[in-house]
Amino acid sequence: MDFKENTFMYAIALGVVAFVTLQSVFFIVKSWKHAKELGIEKEKLKNTVVSSILFTVAPAISILATVIVLANALGIVLPWIRLTVIGNLAYETTAAQTAVEAMGGTLTSSIADKQQFSTVAWAMTIGSIAPLIMLPFVCKKLQTKIGSAVNKNENAAKLGDAISAAAFIGIISAFIARALAGTTSDGAGNAGFMSISVLIVAMVSMVILELVCKKFKLEKLRPFTMPIAMFIGMGSAMLFEAVLPENIINFVWR
């Protein structure tokens, strides 16, 4: 049996899954209790749960795709572990690639040397733990400062609302700017016809869904408009690729 996918590795992975799940359950239970104390309706919380699940499915499948890509070189278990804790798509691939290349290998062929394998595991772990070292020192300070600043008086609250809306918009703008003008080092996902079309389809679907909800008073549908609009955007990508000529699909300006 491949040492990268033996019972020992699976046992570690299950331990990690258990830890992450327990932590999530812990915080959900505590928040749920406090939400009741605050008088937030149960319906609202249930909607939050269902729409969060719907929202998560598609991105989670793309994460799973990264696990599969990395499995070529690292076996399936280590990438699984790494993308369950801290991992993110771009980071884990870069980290694994840097480590494998430093030892003269490539990510396309399977690692057969145990020392190389453990080096990759160390590199992926240490490279990614900085935020966990910082959080205990800065998280509370940052949030307390911001909390007391925006809850000071009405003017401050108004400014605080505008600034937090602006910060959200800043985040979304970064992704929109990427769809408009970005490129990646491997050339996949460059700004072009596809990125803009999918963006626009998702936005327009969202606006239409909101209007439909308003017009027909579909309050029950409202929490799901965002995930639905996302799925319509993804579906449009499949449709475009299926029906449009290749030179339009591959048209990029970056």
Partner 1 sequence: MQKNYFDRVHRWGILWNIGALLMLLSIPVLISTYYGAWPELSVLWKVLSKLMLLYWVTAVVEVITYVPMLGAGGTYLSFVTGNITNLKLPVGLAAMENANVRANTEEGEVVSTIAIGVSSITTTIIIAVGVLVFSPVLPYITAENSAFRPAFEWVLPALFGALGASYFAKHWKLVPLPVIVGVIVLIFSPTMGVGTLMFVTIVAAVLGAFVMVKKNWL
Residues 41-100 that bind partner 1 (CB under 8 A): 44-45, 47-49, 51-53, 55-65, 67-68, 71, 76-77, 80-81, 83-91, 94-95, 98-99
Q: How far is the CB of 246 from partner 1 (least distance, A)?
A: 12
Q: How far is the CB of 66 from partner 1 (least distance, A)?
A: 10
Which one, of 43, 96, 63, lies nearest residue 222 by Cα?
43
Collapsed DSSP state (helix, strand, coil) of residue 184: coil
Q: Which is nearer to partner 1, 168 or 212 (CB)?
A: 168
Q: How far is the CB of 203 from partner 1 (least distance, A)?
A: 4
Q: What's the burial of 189, exposed, middle or buried (CB within 10 Å: 0-12/13-18/19+)?
A: middle
* The two structure tokens encoding residue 137: 């020192």
* Residue 121 near residue 99 (C-beta atoms within 8 A): no
Decide: is 250 part of the binding site for partner 1 (CB under 8 A). no
The CA distance from 227 to 37, in Å, is: 29
Site residues for partner 1, 97-156, by CB under 8 A, read: 98-99, 102-103, 114-115, 117-119, 121-123, 125-136, 138-140, 142-144, 146-147, 150-151
Q: How far is the CB of 70 from partner 1 (least distance, A)?
A: 11
* Residue 109 near residue 73 (C-beta atoms within 8 A): yes
Q: Pick from 70, 105, 111, 227: which binds partner 1 (CB under 8 A)?
A: 227
Collapsed DSSP state (helix, strand, coil) of residue 252: strand
Site residues for partner 1, 160-219, by CB under 8 A, read: 160-185, 188-189, 194-196, 198-207, 210
Q: How far is the CB of 179 from partner 1 (least distance, A)?
A: 5
Size of the site for partner 1 (CB under 8 A): 158
The CA distance from 56 to 195, in Å, is: 20
* The two structure tokens encoding residue 203: 């936005």
- Residues ≥6 apart with Cβ < 8 Å to 84: 13, 16, 17, 20
Q: How far is the CB of 75 from partner 1 (least distance, A)?
A: 11
Q: Which is nearer to partner 1, 16 or 107 (CB)?
A: 16
